[in-house]
Amino acid sequence: MASSRLRVAVIGAGAAGLGSARHILLRSRNFEPPVVFEMTGQVGGTWVYTEEPAYAGNTHSSMYRDLKTNLPKEIMEFPDFPFDPSLPSFLHHSEVLKYLEDYTDTFFIRPHIRFNTPVVSVYPVLEDQERISWRVISSSQGEEVLEKFDAVMVCVGHYSYPYIPDIRGIKDFQGEILHSHFYRYPEVFSSRSIVLLGSGPSGVDIAMELSAHAKYVILSHRGPPLKWTPPENVSLAPPVVSATRNELIFENGTQVEADTLIFCTGYKYNYPFFLPRNQRRAGDGLTDSEEVEYEDVLDWGFLEGEDIERPDRGEGHLLPLYKHLIHARYPTLCFIGACKIVVPFPLFHCQAQFFLLTLEGKCPLPPVEQMLSESRKEYIEHRNSGLPLKYLHLLGLNQWNYNQWLADTAGIEPLAPVLEKLYDLTREFRSSNPLVYRKLNFKILNREEFEVQTDGTEEAYEKGLGKKGDQEPNGHSG
């Protein structure tokens, strides 16, 4: 007798995939054990540090050797699996990887992971007039395997496919050019003249690391002036807009000689396993009828005849997603963690539960036409705002309302309010002095309150928190 339980494919065994698998295993009455496809030989995704040569085509992780988290562990953790409380708040990346490995084994996820098994293609098939199933082709030991699933959870992240903007004359530049994705440690840049484009977390961190080794470092960025004073050999400049053989030219016309340009410009979405419409690889083992159904069903647009851009490999937006999560046309397909500028693990926790509850029928979704309409409206409003499409799924400060909406709509326990409070304070510390904020430690007291502690140095206290006299005697309570 065929099982009535749903079979779900999870693509990726990083934090998003592990969290998704855990929640599937918790719902054994309605779901078969998950099948987790992982292209590498271990769990952890972007948290797996590798010292591969620069520009290696198979470099997946963006970790650099000395990276520490820019969020405290107290808000990073999955709500049902705390970090070791003896660890400092800001962790070396190796501690996060260990945490994910412990999570995997504590919840018995590892037996359901197929390591060294990349997904080759994913596409929907029309089973009847209303029901869609999914075909997943994976590759293992040189052989391709075709399987059928009721739903697919895409959990591959978005920190492995660099975004590099077009710069006039960049092909003429004779210096070294790389993306922060390939940066590993500062010693190899000793005595260099370096320009970094982008002042996000990676740009600032790498500039600080390089300052102890480089001849000088210029942090080139767009937006308001930074609030902190950089080290002596680090200066700030407007964005790089053009290049010559030996010089980089900034937006204000200033020219500087440089031998290295590092792009700290973020990443694009990349889902190579989704085949374009009307394209098929030969020999995938499908019947003729399935091929016809595939051609008829796979449509990433909104409605026929609408002039809406498809998912973009240039800037990296996804369309059409309902609530930044579920494919509006194919609601048994979701993208866990597609949102940008978020606290990732708690977000994955909320998104995975929400999606699984929709599959169970316990959290009904609006009609497809309504979800498409909402996604279309969101896209048009964003496009008309003048912001680049790569920010379509950027949540930032809106992430807390978003997580609350997921919890309220699905009837799951919401995230503790203290997480938002601690996030806001950490953000303030980081923007005011990125050199010292990681010296601070935090302790969550309850769902509403936390306190800030220091390592005992007056410098960390004063530069990270403000003047000591402005604070509570035993730390700052949130």
What's the pLDDT at 307? 41
The dihedral sign for the CA sequence 11, 17, 21, 23: negative
The answer to whether the beta carbons of residues 194 and 248 sit under 8 Å apart is no
- What the chain holds in terms of domains, given with CATH numbers, is 8-160+268-410 (3.50.50.60), 170-263 (3.50.50.60), 417-470 (no CATH)
pTM: 0.89
What pLDDT does 268 receive? 87
Contacting residues for 285 by C-beta, under 8 A, at least 6 apart:
144, 146
The alpha carbons of the chain give a radius of gyration, in whole angstroms, of: 24
pLDDT value of position 448? 97
Written as six digits, the tokens of 249 are 């030219």
β-pairing verdict for 255-257 and 247-250: antiparallel
Question: Sheet containing 151-154: which strands, arranged edge to edge?
Answer: 113-114, 35-37, 8-11, 151-154, 333-335, 326-327, 321-322
Name residues of the chain where pLDDT drops below 70.
Answer: 1-2, 53-59, 275-317, 454-478
Query: What pLDDT does residue 477 have?
Result: 35
Distance CA 391, CA 395 (A): 9
- In this prediction, residue 292 carries a pLDDT of 29
User: What is the model's pLDDT at position 150?
Assistant: 97
pLDDT at 333: 95
Q: Are 120 and 138 in contact (CB under 8 A)?
A: yes
For residue 9, the cross-strand partners are: 35, 152
Closest CA to 361 of 82, 30, 101: 30
Tokens describing residue 253? 């016309």
What pLDDT score does 271 carry? 86
- pLDDT reported for residue 309: 42
